[in-house]
Structure 1
Amino acid sequence: MTKPGAYVSPIRLECVSCERTLPGNFFRGNRYKAVACKECESSHQGLRWCVDCASWLPEGDFYRTGPKQKFLTTRCKPCRTFQSHGITRKFMEELTGSAIASCGACGDSGARLSIDHDHRHCVGELGCRHCVRGYLCQACNTAEGLLKTSQRVRALADYMDRTAMTDEDLASLPASERRGVQRNRRVEGANRTYYSHD
């Protein structure tokens, strides 16, 4: 692997990918060495090693950093989010009981998820391992943030249940008495199409 007479670093590092112990000059970087050797990096073009996931992931899963956004972070975007809350992916999997992230309130797994925490313990955007509760989708996280307490959530749910129209009530009303946007009449002008609100 090395040419005869080439410099061999006295520093020995273990590659996280191939698990071989190699001289330091087999790793990219000067003062701060990469965790995977150059050979492993070249065999995984377009991929980067996440130190928390312990796997090769697409470079788009990492944040760009440094001058002119030239470098990539050592942790993927989800792992950096976990780290900012002082937790790991494994901690969240144990907390939620699943490796698949989904909203703890509505169960949606396709939405953009946020890590939810109790704001009475850690005030602000970031929580800690003591107050993180799980994932919430954007809609549930917004509702939880606006309503603040579980008593207000229950009161709102009770109100909605008490005042909701039944399917029979809706079916008995003529469609002409319903209000809303009816998109049946087009108004053309100024290179745009407007729909009238009747």
Structure 2
Amino acid sequence: MTCMVYAMRNKRQAEMTANPSKYPQGYFKPKPCRECRTIFTPMAPSHLSCSQNCADRMLTSRYLQRNYGMTLNQYEVIRGRQQSLCAICESEGFIMASHHKMKLVVDHCHASGQVRGLLCHNCNRALGLLKDSEKVLQRALRYLRKAAMKPAAQEPKSKRLSGPASPTQTADVEPYCKCSPGERGSRKDKPDVCTQLQLL
């Protein structure tokens, strides 16, 4: 199974090569893979994994262990439980930076360090910006609900009639105009406004 790499900055396995003749023994001894323990012949002293897949898993495990105190297997269990979707918005997420290889990041409590789940970058940042506060989240929810219940504000009538009439305004004004075409624009100071509408 191909590993879903969390982050990748190291060289790929194909780039880890060296000339054995430059070393005392003249060759590289077979050794066990750090990830799956399969015996393989390295191409350089820094070559620690038998395949790129094992190298990716090893790198990801080190990253998760260093930053969140969890193993790659634990990460994969959580990802399977969430069906590879964000625990909040239920999207598949997205890749944030070029060295990131996974669409879901680990969300953890900054006070206790406990892992809470996997989130997309946007939901993870949203929790951080809202200070991981339930009270702030509840206030934000009340704000959205209150805003959704308010009727749309209507523009004052005087404001709608001020200024030169636009093509869209003409359709609204026309039914209320009782002037004949010759009578419209009879005032010199406002030649483009209906004389009867000026009285409203």
Name the structure with the higher strand share.
Answer: 1
- Calculate the TM-score normalised by the size of structure 2: 0.45
Name the structure with the higher helix share.
Answer: 2
Structure with the greater relative contact order (CA < 8 A, sep ≥ 6): 1 or 2? 2
Whichever of the two has the greater Rg, that structure is: 2
